[in-house]
Amino acid sequence: MAQIIGAVTTSHVPAIGGAMAKGLQAEPYWKPFFDGFPPVRRWLAEVKPDVAVVIYNDHGLNFFLDKMPTFAVGAAPEYRNADEGWGIPQVAPFRGDQDLSWHLIESLIGEDFDITTCQEMMVDHAFTLPMALLWPDQRWPVRVVPVCINTVQFPLPSARRCYRLGEAVGRAVRSWQSDARVLIMGTGGLSHQLDGQRAGFINKSFDEQFMNSLASDPEWATQYSIHDLVRLTGTQGVELVMWLAARAALGARASTRHSSYHIPISNTASGLMLLEPA
């Protein structure tokens, strides 16, 4: 059976792509953010995952407001990035793992999750930038399975539902007949609001409580409704449900191997965690 080796959760702010393209990683503005990643890269070089299940939210590249699935899973042989208008370079295509995709889709639908199956799927900055942060040479050493959660158009799935989805993703991966080593990624957050009267809103104490909860009390954030989470973390801060789902995939117990947190990158409180199953 396949093995889940850990979960990496990270912010996915588009400006990261610009900073990487311009080589600004050592600039004072960017250094505290990029300095979080070398320990995760060293861990990846050690554990050598074969596949990454990437839980993220599309922001209008693959799904637009006319058709917005709550949960979608990629089942394509390959995933391409395209210009979203942020002015960041496009990255090389990602090789899919269709065997895991279909196993995941069958397991999730078998557990009563209503999944949109995507045999063609473009992946946006929320997928490509975390991949480039983990593998800066952009020669992707893993096959990928995108798992997309709507955090763009209301109504959004609850934190509790996203946690349950993550648990089901974990069960599916662990029951996959393969000797693959699987990394789970969750991208988004932490607190940020890009528009409206509270644009620039950040809540450091909530973010820190949330990050601490993932090891010790992982369902802590599921006590909050989506509207609570918008109030507490900003309209885009709700992307933290991706972290919850990724954490849930590890099973009941997990420990924090590495974490970093920095304010701000663009409008976002950026966070990074590496969690390992107990």
Catalytic residues, by residue number, are: 125, 192
247 part of the interface to ligand DHB, by CB under 6 A = no
12 part of the interface to ligand DHB, by CB under 6 A = yes
Q: Which residues between 44 and 83 bind ligand DHB (CB under 6 A)?
A: 59
Among residues 9 and 236, whose Cβ is nearest to ligand DHB? 236
Among residues 128 and 267, whose Cβ is nearest to ligand DHB? 267
Neighbouring CB atoms inside 10 A of 38's CB total 10
Q: How far is the CB of 270 from ligand DHB (least distance, A)?
A: 9
Q: Which residues contact residue 192 at a Cβ distance below 8 angstroms, ignoring those fewer than 6 apart?
A: 201, 202, 233, 234, 236, 237, 239, 267, 268, 269
Closest CA to 169 of 250, 267, 260: 250
**Cβ-based burial of 137 (10 A; exposed 0-12, middle 13-18, buried ≥19):** exposed
Among residues 239 and 276, whose Cβ is nearest to ligand DHB? 239
DSSP secondary structure letter of residue 137: T
14 part of the interface to ligand DHB, by CB under 6 A = yes
Question: Tokens at residue 86, please?
Answer: 């942020």
Among residues 40 and 269, whose Cβ is nearest to ligand DHB? 269
262 part of the interface to ligand DHB, by CB under 6 A = no
3-state secondary structure of 238: helix
* Residue type at position 8: V
193 part of the interface to ligand DHB, by CB under 6 A = no
Closest CA to 105 of 51, 50, 146: 146
108 part of the interface to ligand DHB, by CB under 6 A = no
Instruction: With beta carbons less than 8 A apart as the criterion, state whether 243 and 220 touch.
Output: no
Q: Which residues between 114 and 143 bind ligand DHB (CB under 6 A)?
A: 126
Q: How far is the CB of 37 from ligand DHB (least distance, A)?
A: 17
Question: Tokens at residue 173, please?
Answer: 């991966």
Contact footprint for ligand DHB (CB under 6 A): 12-15, 59, 126, 192, 194, 236, 239, 266-268
